[in-house]
Amino acid sequence: MTVTDPPYREITDARGRVYRVGESPQQILGVSRKWMVWLPWLAMMGISVFEYGYGAAESTLEDVHGWSLSQAFWLVAVWTVFQAGVAFPAGRLREQGKFSARTAMFVGAGCVFLAFAVLGVTSSLLLNFLFYSVIGGIGSGLVYATCINMVGKWYPEKRGGKTGFVNGGFAYGAVPFIFVFSYLFDKDTFTLVLVLVGVYMLVVVALCAILFKDPPKNWWPEEVDPLTYHTNPKSARSLEKNPPAVRQYTPMEAIKTGQLPLMWLSFAIIGGVSLFGIGYQVDFAEEVGFGPFIAASSAGVLSIVNGVGRGVVGWVSDLIGRRQTLVLVLAIEGVAQFGLLWSGNAGNEVGFMFFAFVAGFGGGAFFPLFAALTPDYFGENYNATNYGLVYSAKLVGGLFGLGAASHVVEVWGYDGAYTIAGVIAFVSAGTAAILRQPGRTRDGKVPASGLFDDTPGIETAEDGTAAAAPPGPTAPAGETTGRRES
């Protein structure tokens, strides 16, 4: 038995946070870490039809299965509960080493296939609640949460744009299916279309899963010195505006900071608004007299801009800050709700398409911002669990934005529904405006008193680097090199 030095060293900053530096992605994965952007993106494209294609398929589901509007939308509302709710327990098991990322993806692939296969062959509402809502929700939730956490772990120094790009696939990946469901989906093709969609998801997700692997805990890219990142031209601006978490927070510690509950509340509110737009925009367009092309196109525009917007705001957040970008996006979504209501009631097709564009942007762009903000605030080591907690807010949004909204539409009409959606979007923006990174003041400093958490504080520069830390990666405070046996 010989003892050799591992191909990494652990650097401890003046605050006590550990960075594991030295291992290349090729050593861990066998390929470049870019694969952990492209493969999650493809998998997200694969499952996007669940949420963003449902509105276009809903009327045919009613006709073929004999369901009411409320029954059809409660099916996807319950799906949202399980899709969002599985993120926390799955993340917990993943971080405990009991459930690998690859396993989560394979299980998810099988579940999403079963959901669509059963939807295509039976009108039983009970069976479809079990397979589409519960099993399909769990499967798509496993894929979604695994993909989002994967890219965040592999790009800790510049996660905004990468997370936004991956997250965008979950929206515009549904565009071809929106038109299929609008033009080629009827009683004659019903079963064939749904089963083929299920097979497509099974193949895409399973193939992407083969290379999925998390980096080791505390992993940090070798090319970016964690103590003097402000001197690195590739990451300086992003890390200056979005400095690394002061330490790795466990879920309970993250909750105690007060910031995770605020994130959850803001997410729950805006999630309901977003899902309302996704689910009801086609029906609203048809009700005010727009033809099927405008209705389908408005949904297609919403999905495309929803997805592309996620990548754009991720990149913008790297430049101007995650929280600032989030507040702006939420306010834009509020404006869009009133714009859609006005243009729809006025019969203004151009205006309706424009505000569908704006709503698509705002209704999707907040997802990657919350996904990136969570490890920014609480670190990467427990991100699968911490973001699982934040993302669980979507289950509340789904119940109100899809399920309860059907009752609001039936009682108060689309005027009442869109007005409520616009108002609460601004409430979400106000909630996000008071967020701040635990352990730092708003100017980026860590108070010596440890005001915001229970970790001893130390004064830092505004860019987030420890003032007392010696320069350069070769002689950092507290650097250690682990040893392992071979």
* ∠ Cα 334 163 88 (to 5°): 85
pTM: 0.74
Q: Which position has the token pair 């296969």? A: 117
In terms of C-beta density within 10 A (0-12 exposed, 13-18 middle, 19 or more buried), how is residue 154 classed?
Answer: buried
Amino acid in position 243: P
Q: Which position has the token pair 């990136």? A: 372
pLDDT recorded at residue 279: 67
Q: Return the domain boundaries, the chain.
A: 25-221+252-433
pLDDT recorded at residue 360: 77
DSSP H helix total and E strand total for the chain: 21, 5
Bridge partners for 10 per DSSP: 20, 480
pLDDT recorded at residue 486: 29
Q: Which helix (H) or strand (E) holds 62?
A: helix 54-65
Q: Which helix (H) or strand (E) holds 101?
A: helix 101-121
Amino acid in position 387: Y
Closest CA to 163 of 293, 326, 263, 36: 36
What is the C-alpha to C-alpha distance for residues 222 and 225, in angstroms, rounded to an integer? Answer: 7
DSSP state letters, 114-148: HHHHHHHH---HHHHIIIIIIIHHHHHHHHHHHHH
pLDDT recorded at residue 116: 95
Contacts of 456 (CB under 8 A, 6+ apart): 450
Q: Is 459 left (phi over 0), alpha (psi -120 to 50) or beta?
A: beta
Strands 18-21 and 9-12: antiparallel
| Sheet of 18-21, strands arranged across | 9-12, 18-21, 219-220
What is the C-alpha to C-alpha distance for residues 124 and 130, in angstroms, rounded to an integer? Answer: 10
pLDDT recorded at residue 194: 94
Closest CA to 327 of 194, 425, 257: 425
Integer CA distances (angstroms), 201 to 52, 152, 163, in order: 14, 23, 21
Q: Map residue 22 onto helix, strand or coil.
A: coil
Give Cα 415 to chain centroid, integer Å.
29
Domain 25-221+252-433 in CATH: superfamily? MFS general substrate transporter like domains (1.20.1250.20)
DSSP symbol at 30: S
What is the C-alpha to C-alpha distance for residues 483 and 470, in angstroms, rounded to an integer? Answer: 24
> Is 138:79 a contact under the CB 8 Å cutoff?
no
Extract the tokens encoding 27.
Answer: 């050593």
pLDDT in tens, the chain (486 residues): 445 556 788 888 777 788 899 899 999 998 999 999 999 999 999 999 987 778 778 888 988 999 987 888 788 888 988 998 898 899 888 888 888 999 999 999 999 999 999 999 999 999 999 999 999 999 999 999 999 989 988 998 878 888 889 988 887 888 888 888 878 888 889 999 999 999 999 999 999 999 999 999 889 888 888 777 666 666 666 777 888 889 999 999 999 999 999 999 999 999 888 878 766 776 777 777 776 666 666 666 666 777 778 888 888 888 889 999 999 999 999 999 999 889 888 888 888 888 888 887 887 788 889 999 999 999 988 988 999 999 999 888 777 776 677 777 777 888 888 898 899 999 999 999 999 999 876 655 555 444 444 443 333 333 333 333 333 333 344 444 443 332
